[in-house]
Amino acid sequence: MNTVALSPYHLTTREAPAMAALLLAGRVCTVLPVPLRGESIESVREALNHSPRYRRLLANWLALAPLFEAGIITTLAGADDPIAQVRASADRIGSEEPWDPIRVFARRELFGDADQYLDAFSADLLKGGPDPGIALPVCAGLDAFAVDHGFPVVRAGHAAMVTGRQAGQQPGSVGSLAQQAEARLGEQLFSVGIPILKQAGARAIAAARTALRPQLSELRDAVELGSTSPSAAAATAIRRAGTAYAAAFKRTFDGRLNRDDEGGRRLLAAFVSLTARRLSPDAALISSVAAFHRASGAGPAATAVPAVAARAPSGRNAGGSLITLTVSVLDVEPL
């Protein structure tokens, strides 16, 4: 868990998956809508002039600036940027047979048009992701990027989705059905319950990371071990690290919660389960096809999962696995 991938939709809403990732992970890698012409000051300035939505999105993320500046949030792993994988995923949805049911959502041309892409992606992030033609390639592309670089992807669990704001998913929606289908893929590696800050400003998050550095380091190493080499010893290490972290969290925030932090944002905590699963690299696409199978009245989403998975083509990540860390808010007092 030294580096995790996080959907930009979660980063925009800043609910449980984002707050857990920003506190617990050493570094958070995401996809940002940047001008396809490049990231020079001139390109960004031109993009701001062409897209008021892009301007609004950057204003929304301004509160996270200290975390970007500290390198806690990044769009790079080495010299690679996940946007290339996002474009490749859009092409796959539009051309590969197993994804025929969701091809209607393919918008391959969108990711090649500089102005349209930036405006549409920014608008979708601001709305929470109601356009699957954008949100699905972004999710699948980020998954592929994470598999390539060997780090896990943070997901939202059912409890964390109860407000329906994450990626535009309402309870009972296709998005929720896709979650149910994905939960039936692969194998569970471990699950641990821990407290997190569910609401806090960027500087408060950075301060918490500093105060909890020894415990976070132990927890990250244990989660990394449990994700790559699951065993009884790894599970024991995760439980031990989770207990030590939870105790340190209580010492650090006892008496400080439900007050405004230095940025005027109310400091709130939550208790979450962090569940690791090993899945197919195409889990997002497989579960989406299964969800639309269910939404069309063809039967439960779960019944479509094995058939869709069997037809999934062997791609560049065929030999790898996707590790997901699902964050679900529990109805338990955090302290």
Question: How do residues 306-322 score in pLDDT, each as one tens digit?
Answer: 556 555 665 555 558 99
Backbone angles phi, psi at 55, to 5 degrees: -65, -40
Q: Which residue has the tokens 């033609």?
A: 133
Question: How far is the CA of 232 from the CAs of 52, 222, 225, 246, 321, in angstroms?
Answer: 52, 12, 11, 21, 21
pLDDT in tens, 113-145: 666 788 888 999 998 777 888 999 999 999 999
pLDDT at position 186: 82
DSSP H or E stretch at residue 271:
strand 268-279
* Residues 267, 19 contacting (CB under 8 angstroms): no
Structure tokens at 79: 């010299």
Question: How far is the CA of 143 from the CAs of 83, 149, 153, 307, in angstroms?
Answer: 11, 10, 7, 21
Strand segments, DSSP code E, in 149-247 are 153-156, 187-199
Q: Is 62 left (phi over 0), alpha (psi -120 to 50) or beta?
A: alpha
Query: Which pLDDT band, with edges at 50, 70 and 90, does 160 fall under?
Result: very low
**Alpha-carbon Rg for the chain in angstroms:** 19
Domain ranges of the chain: 3-330
Q: What is the largest CA-CA distance in the chain?
A: 56
Taking residue 203's Cβ as centre, other Cβ atoms within 10 Å add up to: 15
Structure tokens at 187: 């194998």
Structure tokens at 107: 């918008």
The overall average pLDDT reported for the chain is: 83
pLDDT in tens, 61-100: 889 999 999 999 988 766 688 888 988 998 899 888 889 8
For 170, which DSSP code? P
